[in-house]
Amino acid sequence: MGPTRLQLARKGRIQKKRRNKVPCLYNRPHKRALVFKLGILPPRKPNSAKRKHVKLRILGEKFKGRRTLAHIPGWDKHGLHEYSIVLIEGGGPKDTPGVNYTAMRGLLDFVLPTKQRTRSRSKFGLTRRDVFRNSKFDYPRWWGNPQHPDYPKNPENIF
């Protein structure tokens, strides 16, 4: 049974306080951090793998010294080592508890993967032109774009 009108008039409804899931970002979309340890964590029960992560120290005037864990995305060598500087964003792998941040690839000291990505390029800072669809043939810039000024008038007889 809910509260009576008199109880609501006296006390009102108390709103639940929402917990901040990414407190190290301090209401910013991204934050710079210093890597001081690299590690591997196993995921939660139904999954099994080796999830790579880094221990970070947040950089900035009033945020100095705060420590947290961040996930290393991608399937290639990451090239991170101690004292690398990375940019982190909110959200981590769902099956790894305690890892609430993701290191952003292709920014600061965190290099892009060497293999060419065909899916989820935007997360890794790659445009479609950066991705070779065929290793033997480098597609021209106008490929697949009829509005491009260099697009051929008769595309059936290109090759």
DSSP state of 76: S
Q: Identity (one letter) of the amino acid at 80?
A: L
* Residue 128 is assigned to a structural domain of this protein: no
For 35, 41, 55, 77, 128, the CA distances from 90, given in Å and listed in that order, are 17, 18, 15, 22, 26
- Express each pLDDT in 41-89 by its tens digit: 999 989 988 999 999 999 887 767 789 999 998 877 788 889 999 999 9
| Cα–Cα distance measured from residue 106 to residue 53, given in angstroms and rounded to the nearest whole number | 16
Q: Is the pLDDT confidence value at 144 over 70?
A: no
pLDDT at 114: 62
Least Cα distance to 105 among 85, 128, 84, 87 occurs for: 87
Residue 49, domain CATH: 2.40.50.140
Per the structure, the complete domain to which residue 70 belongs is given by 23-114
pLDDT at 9: 95
Q: Is the pLDDT confidence value at 133 over 70?
A: no
* Residue 94 is assigned to a structural domain of this protein: yes
Count how many domains the chain has.
1
* Residue 90 is assigned to a structural domain of this protein: yes
| pLDDT interval class at 142 (50, 70, 90) | low
Q: Which helix (H) or strand (E) holds 39?
A: strand 30-41
| Cα–Cα distance measured from residue 152 to residue 66, given in angstroms and rounded to the nearest whole number | 57
